[in-house]
Structure 1
Amino acid sequence: MTLSTSAWIGSFVVLAGIAGVVVTSLDDVRSALEESTARDNPGYSSTDISDAVTVVLVGSGGGALVLVLLALMSLQLLRARKNAGRAMTAIVGVVSIAAGLGFMSLVDGAADIGAGVLRWGPILYCVLVAVAAIAPFAPGVSTWLRVRR
């Protein structure tokens, strides 16, 4: 379980780094995303574009928070040696990877801000989450789950 726990913690650190870049460079990120959205959707009004960027940023932050809480819950279940922890870890992992790839696609217009953290951060996050979600299915974990403390 150490590998899964370490990978989840690493993914939380990466998420915090991504959030830090977005918060500290919010004006630059918004501007880049608005320009990108305007270029892709020339018929949209500036208000619609600004609202869309707000939805992307707030929705991404809120979604990330929910996924972190679910990941912590799955870790707690695993720590209590509950088989449901493996299933929950796998489900949260798949949803987290999909969210990470979706976020990467949505913020592509601002990918160069913050030394490229918005480009490589989501990829690193997805890799760490994949490790965290797969580790509980290692052969020795089934035996470990059966042993009661």
Structure 2
Amino acid sequence: MEPTKMHQQLVDLGLERVNHAVTSTYRMNIACENTGVTYPLLVTAVTYEQGHHVINFEEAEFESSSSVPLHVQKAALDKLIELEQHFRQWTQMTLEGAQNSSMAQNIDEMKKLGDEMKDLKTGSEIIDKNQVPDPIQ
């Protein structure tokens, strides 16, 4: 059954979807240096309706059910740790940028913005002149 039909049937039965996610699977080949055989490692990432992403490094697994040499497992674990650290740094950088959401980045910009805004009319002053103020953002 296709997802949209299943969703509609659930809604028709009185269920309400409270969260929606899309799962992506990524493959990374880990090679054995001794034999040259590659072992595909699968990592899943989930994108939620609200736009945030979760990468499940802890749930990564090899694609095949055959035994994977320990040194290949170690190489995969090292690569997963490297990826996790990379994404933590990236997430930290984007959070730091988002936390500075002010109109002015420093004191000089703040002074300049103040100079630009001092001659602007307030909403009530505009209404008193029978004009329409900007809509609320």
TM-score, scaled to structure 1: 0.31
Higher relative strand content: 2
Higher relative helix content: 1
If asked which structure has higher relative contact order (CA below 8 Å, sep 6+), I would say: 1
Which has the higher Rg, Structure 1 or Structure 2?
2
TM-score, scaled to structure 2: 0.33
